[in-house]
Structure 1
Amino acid sequence: MHCTRLSAPEQRLLDHFYRQQGSRMRAPAQGKLWVARSPGIIAGLSLSEVESGQWLTGLFVAPDRRSEGVGMQLVAKALENACGSTWLFCHPTLANYYARQGFAPAGELPQSLRDKLQRYQRSKALIALERTAHPGQFSAG
């Protein structure tokens, strides 16, 4: 398995993967899209720039490849050179999964994310998590 960032011409591949898996997720047009391949796409995520950092969305691992560490390896690779904060929203039951990757309950969210979270929480149980890192702080393992 290897994790890579998709080039602009390849970005449609992540939406195709989501559809193949029956997911309603969509890759944001302005996001930096990452995938894990073995040899085809088995997982994907997006990183979008926000004030003071980035927002991780759309982490999805093919159901037949879950519990193999694919998602953790993909997140680690996508964030290996991240500086500043990375935020994400998840169901509270996933907090421990993300804690193993250095995420903790978010402190102050950028205004754009605060607004999104409030909107999303009207219909979903979600929490905001944050990881502040410097290059090389966390490893893919």
Structure 2
Amino acid sequence: MTAIVYAPLEAPLWPLMNKFYRAHQSSMKAVKDAQLWVARQEEIIAGLCLRPMANGYWLTGLFVAPALRGQGVAGELVSQAVATCDGPVWLFCDPELQGFYEKLGFNLDVELPHALHERLVRYQRNKAMIALGVTPACPVPDPETTHQ
């Protein structure tokens, strides 16, 4: 099995991300104004979008091929993409995913840009959704070494 490579997807190749989403019947879509990140093992096995927003980024479209879930691909992809950001990163997720994102340094106590706050309120009308955020420049304490 070949090693997994985590890297930005070059702009001319962005249609490959939508092809990946469609191949797995995902409703997610890659957007042209975003930084697209992928995990590859020859083919794309995971992807996410980092959309510029209010001096930061909105992480959307995180999707891992079902056969590779539970192997750390999503966490590594998010970690590598976020490490390149020069401002805060926000995301919306189901409350059940809070622990997953907290292990990656995201936290619930986040101030959203106005546009994202309004969008979150709209989304919450139809389903349970929380906002999380991280600022990569700020070191996040490792919960295994932090003593209280």
TM-score bucket of the superposed structures, by smaller chain: over 0.9
Which residue of structure 2 aligns with residue 47 of structure 1? 50
- Structure 1 window deviating more from structure 2 (68-77 vs 105-114): it is 105-114
What is the CA–CA distance in structure 2 between the aligned matches of 1:28 and 1:119, rounded to whole Å?
Answer: 20
Structure-to-structure mapping, 1:16-35, within 5 angstroms: 16-35=19-38
Whichever residue aligns with residue 53 of structure 1, its letter is G
Which residue of structure 2 aligns with residue 125 of structure 1? 128
For structure 1, the residue ranges without an aligned partner over 5 or more in a row are none
Following TM superposition, where does structure 1 have runs of at least 4 consecutive aligned residues deviating by more than 4 angstroms? none
Identity of aligned residues (%): 45
For structure 2, the residue ranges without an aligned partner over 5 or more in a row are 141-148
Give the structure with the higher percent strand. Answer: 1
| Root-mean-square deviation over aligned CA pairs | 1.4
> 2:15 aligned to 12, 16, 37, which one?
12
Structure of greater Rg: 2
Which residue of structure 2 aligns with residue 134 of structure 1? 137
- Structure 1 window deviating more from structure 2 (99-108 vs 16-25): it is 99-108
Of the two structures, which has the highest relative contact order with CA contacts closer than 8 Å and spacing of 6 or more? 1
Structure-to-structure mapping, 1:58-137, within 5 angstroms: 58-134=61-137, 137=139
Could you say what secondary structure the match of 1:73 adopts? helix
What is the CA–CA distance in structure 1 between the aligned matches of 2:56 and 2:75, rounded to whole Å?
Answer: 20
